[in-house]
A and B are shown apart, each in its own frame.
Chain A
């Protein structure tokens, strides 16, 4: 649509975009480098030698915090939230394809779930559990708190997906004699599978990194973000950066794996 020669606007915006990417990744790479700080190094540059001491520290000390346990809890919680988010969003997305009483209310309730400040949800769930005499725990109260954050994203994504989904595929399948379950299983599901994986990725990463909603709802055992949040106030060694590097690399691996899966599925589909 533009002339072949790049305009001056392009170069200015390209530089702007480059600076934005630097702004996004620059600080992250700073802690990545500093996590290899030498044994006597501090929280800032310059590097005082290079060592793996802080990563080792992460594995050994139990005095600063329980990283292994909190990581396992966050991982489990993330997987639980992911599975429920995918299933519930898919069902809600299917429901929203038809008009039903209360559809608008439910839709705006989902939007509300997105805009209500997370600390308010955290406080509310904490008080509800307290008043009902139930002990809050990461797998019950924090699980529900995380769902109020991941479900709206999932529902809105599925809403958008089904907005663009032509019913003619299902009509064709039905005309060929497929039952409604077969239509769903062999026609609809394969077509929306990449979006569902995307919803799953959102569900997992949003839960894995969430802490404002976990603050009042985690109960006795901390999740990893709470552990890190606690460390920001009382840890003054690069072990903080080592932990940051480990969780960030883990997040990157999850994202890369998911994207690889989506690309492979798309390739498979366009071949077959």
Chain B
């Protein structure tokens, strides 16, 4: 690289016709992304904040400045219970996906010896995540249902006499389906950071007499933290935003903030839904900001 540069320096600069300044090129290249995110992310968010202060009746909304959308939402015991329920899902799914994600990524990164095999096994994990979420969700119904595979297996084996009811349409089913849907978002970032760990660090630790448990806790786990943080951002935001899994898998018996919003939207109570959206958005952004204090995303890419 250096030699190339040295040759270039001595020569006269070739004449270029109509050359745009580099700065301007960057701006032109960044324009489409800016416009799209401006129109379909920033503008809608501003609109939601505005509408959350509007008045409404059964038919339409009226521009106004009222705060009862917030006081009604935050003053209701149901809202607080729903937020708590959503946070409970987020915590459970986060803990389980982190556990599964770390061990799967660790197995792929440190126990599979050839790069080709690593790629193949990683793709095996990835492919289901590129298929429809709803289909993957409903695919649990014949497994968990009253007459599903697990229940008939249990009854056949004589372990239970009645079908187990809490397998489907319960919080258990919601968490199971969410883990099923979102684990890859934990596996990929952790796998990415583990692959970048210099293998000689592990060897050095072994040469210094560390056991495999010590290597894991003192070398690998600390270096895997950025990947875990990014995975956490994905999983937590996905669970906080989820309404379909909660609706389908709990059979309407459990609630989440997004599901509450969706119900308000179907009743055309947009300002109420908007107020909820603002509260949820602030909560999610605070969580993400907290996680971003641990990790610099730009460095991890």
Decide whether A and B are members of one complex: yes
Bound CA–CA A45/B147 (angstroms) = 7
Which A103-157 residues have C-beta < 8 A from chain B?
Answer: 103, 106-107, 109-121, 123-128, 131, 144-145, 147-148, 151, 155-156
Which B70-88 residues have C-beta < 8 A from chain A?
Answer: none
Q: Is the CB of A17 within 8 A of B48?
A: no
What distance in Å separates the Cβ of B44 from its nearest Cβ neighbour in chain A? 3
Q: Is the CB of A123 within 8 A of B142?
A: no
The answer to whether A160 and B48 touch (CB under 8 A), given A175-B7, A228-B134, is: no
Interface hit among A48-56, A59-67, A87-95: A87-95
Q: Is the CB of A147 within 8 A of B244?
A: no
Q: Is the CB of A28 within 8 A of B134?
A: no
A30 within 8 A of B: yes
Q: Is the CB of B139 within 8 A of A91?
A: no
B159 within 8 A of A: no
Bound CA–CA A201/B129 (angstroms) = 12
The answer to whether A25 and B128 touch (CB under 8 A), given A17-B121, A125-B44, A244-B135, is: yes
Q: Is the CB of A209 within 8 A of B132?
A: yes
A261 within 8 A of B: no
B125 within 8 A of A: yes
Give which listed residue, A43, A113, A127, A171, contacts B51 with CB less than 8 A: A127
Give which listed residue, A30, A84, A96, contacts B139 with CB less than 8 A: A30
A200 within 8 A of B: no
What distance in Å separates the Cβ of B194 from its nearest Cβ neighbour in chain A? 13
Bound CA–CA A263/B214 (angstroms) = 39
Q: Is the CB of A115 within 8 A of B180?
A: no
Bound CA–CA A120/B40 (angstroms) = 11
Give which listed residue, A91, A103, A127, A248, contacts B135 with CB less than 8 A: A248
Q: Is the interface of B mostly helix, strand, loop or mixed?
A: helix
Q: Which residues of A contact B240 (CB under 8 A)?
A: 117
What distance in Å separates the Cβ of B166 from its nearest Cβ neighbour in chain A? 17
A16 within 8 A of B: yes
Give which listed residue, A106, A119, A171, contacts B30 with CB less than 8 A: A106
Q: Is the CB of A44 within 8 A of B148?
A: yes
Which B280-294 residues have C-beta < 8 A from chain A?
Answer: 280-281, 284-285, 288
Give which listed residue, B40, B152, B262, contacts A45 with CB less than 8 A: B152
A252 within 8 A of B: yes
**Number of residues on chain B facing chain A (CB within 8 A):** 92
Bound CA–CA A207/B91 (angstroms) = 28
What distance in Å separates the Cβ of A202 from its nearest Cβ neighbour in chain B? 8
What distance in Å separates the Cβ of A165 from its nearest Cβ neighbour in chain B? 12
Q: Which residues of A contact B183 (CB under 8 A)?
A: 20
Q: Is the CB of A124 within 8 A of B45?
A: yes
Q: Is the CB of A212 within 8 A of B243?
A: yes
Q: Is the CB of B142 within 8 A of A30?
A: yes
Give which listed residue, B124, B138, B265, contacts A232 with CB less than 8 A: B138
Give which listed residue, B121, B202, B281, contacts A1 with CB less than 8 A: B202
Give which listed residue, B29, B131, B149, B265, contacts A252 with CB less than 8 A: B131
Q: Is the CB of B33 within 8 A of A92?
A: yes
Bound CA–CA A216/B149 (angstroms) = 36
Give which listed residue, B40, B47, B135, B152, contacts A147 with CB less than 8 A: B40
Q: Is the CB of B241 within 8 A of A251?
A: no
Q: Is the CB of B40 within 8 A of A148?
A: yes
Q: Is the CB of A121 within 8 A of B41?
A: yes
The answer to whether A123 and B274 touch (CB under 8 A), given A25-B128, A92-B30, A116-B45, is: yes
Q: Which residues of B contact A34 (CB under 8 A)?
A: 142
Closest chain A residue to B106, Cβ basis: A13
A-B CB contact pairs (8 Å), 26 listed: A27-B180, A34-B142, A45-B142, A88-B33, A92-B32, A100-B23, A100-B27, A103-B26, A106-B30, A111-B297, A115-B288, A116-B41, A116-B284, A117-B281, A118-B241, A127-B44, A127-B48, A127-B274, A144-B39, A147-B40, A160-B301, A177-B14, A179-B16, A208-B132, A228-B135, A252-B131
8 additional A-B residue pairs with CB within 8 Å, beyond A13-B106, A24-B180, A119-B258: A13-B103, A44-B146, A95-B25, A103-B26, A111-B297, A117-B277, A120-B281, A148-B40
Closest 8 CB pairs of A and B: A124-B44, A117-B241, A95-B29, A144-B40, A27-B139, A160-B301, A95-B30, A244-B135
